[in-house]
Amino acid sequence: MTTSVHNLPDAESLLNTLTSKLAAYIRPDTAIVGIHSGGAWIAEKITPLLRQSNPESELTLGVLDSSFYRDDYNQRGLHAETRPSQIPFDVQDKHILLIDDVFYTGRTIRAAMNELFDYGRPASITLAVLINRGGRELPICPQVTALELEVPHHQKLQLSRDADNRLHFTLEENA
C-alpha cells in the first residue's frame, strides 16, 4: 500500500510490522546488519524481538557505516557521525538481513553491499527497510518493507532517536 505524506507514520509501530515480516527470513545461519545510523538503530531494536520468536537461531548483529564506499563521497564529504563498521562475525556463507531506515535512490545500499563483501561472501542478502519512499536510481530495491510512502523529491524523510531511545520521523527540505 502506498501512502502520501500528510501525517508521518509512527516509526515504533513500523518496527513491529517489519519484525513480523522478517520472522520468515530467519534461518540458523542468519545475521542482521544495520546501516549507520537509522538502520543500526532499527537493527538494535528488532534483533532481540527476532531472537525471541526464533530461539533456535543464533542471530548475530553487526553495523556498517558505508560512508567511504558511497559513489558520491567526493560531493558529500565525511560526516561528523562517521563511525567504524562493526561486523563481529564471519560473513562468509551467512544469510544477511541488511537493515536501513528509508530507501530512496539505492546508493547507500550499493555502498553497504560493497563494504559487506569486503568481509566475505554472504550466502544471500535480504534488504529490509522501514519505509520505501520511491526515487530509485539503481536496480536495487528492498525485499521487505514496512511501508511504501510517497515523499516529494524536494523533501527528505529523516529518522531520529530521542533520549528515551524511541524512533521518530521528521520531514525536512533538501539542502
- Range with the poorest average pLDDT among 21-25, 80-84, 91-95, 114-118: 80-84
Class at the top of the CATH hierarchy for domain 2-71+84-173: alpha beta
pLDDT at 16: 96
- Mean pLDDT (the chain) is 90
Question: By CB neighbour count within 10 A (0-12 exposed, 13-18 middle, 19+ buried), where does 29 fall?
Answer: middle
For the cut 60, the answer to whether the pLDDT of residue 74 exceeds it is no
Question: By CB neighbour count within 10 A (0-12 exposed, 13-18 middle, 19+ buried), where does 52 fall?
Answer: exposed
Q: How large a percentage of the chain has pLDDT more than 90?
A: 79
Residue 115 C-beta-side C-alpha neighbours within 13 Å: 25
Kindly state the cell numbers that stand for 120: 566475505
